[in-house]
Amino acid sequence: MPRRTFFSYHYVPDVWRAWNVRNSWVVRDTEEISRGFFDSSVFEASKKESDDALKKFLRNGLENTSVTCILAGTDTWNRRWVRYEIARSIIKGNGLLTVYIHGVQNAAKQTSVKGADPLAQMGLYKTERGIFLAEWKGGKWIPYSDYTLAIPEKDLRFAAPKSTSVVQLSKHYMSYDFTSQNGRKDIGGWIETAAGLVGR
């Protein structure tokens, strides 16, 4: 059964790179195509949309997916809506992985600078009220503001944090480099690994 995967990325600078990565399964050998993934990506919505409408749009994009693949360029790590997609993926129980795409050429045949891992910029911490999301912002960890409810420990697909110290999400998920690690051939396997790590 092909894996339904949601692709999260910084639209303006990386859409060309993301398009190439998302469609890389097309060039696989015939026997590998059945293990490819369906693209359930959504783009950043119009700036005319309200925050609530955009959040609903992104939640709808995540429906019926089992893995979220963050295609990380230079500034993906600090994009608000990428962080929201990550947060909703945690809540939903999707597998997660980061794939660095800075080495993929854009339409002008240019590569870019490697950015931070978006999964290292978000984390979880525990209080007496439950488990909450945190984000790295302004040089420090702060409570995540776009989802402020506690996450039930039973809904997590990995060991829950034990204290108020933030545990980065990157501690629980894998990251890969599309260019240097032969992503065109292997991204399907990376996605399957991400799904397996959360039992999806």
Provide the domain limits for residue 62: 3-117+170-197
106-162 pLDDT per residue, tens: 989 999 999 999 999 999 999 999 999 999 999 999 999 999 999 999 999 999 999
Query: Do the domain assignments include residue 62?
Result: yes
Average pLDDT, the chain: 87
Query: Do the domain assignments include residue 136?
Result: no
184-196 pLDDT per residue, tens: 999 989 999 999 9
pLDDT of residue 199: 86
Report how far residue 119's alpha carbon sits from residue 172's, in angstroms, rounded to the nearest whole number.
9
Query: Do the domain assignments include residue 92?
Result: yes
Query: Do the domain assignments include residue 94?
Result: yes
> How many domains does the chain contain in total?
1
Q: Comparing 34 with 55, which gets the higher pLDDT?
A: 55
Query: Do the domain assignments include residue 132?
Result: no
Residue 57 sits in a domain whose CATH number is 3.40.50.11200
Beta bridge partners of 69: 7, 97
Query: Do the domain assignments include residue 193?
Result: yes
Query: Do the domain assignments include residue 104?
Result: yes
pLDDT of residue 182: 94
SS3 44: coil
Query: Do the domain assignments include residue 30?
Result: yes
pLDDT of residue 61: 85
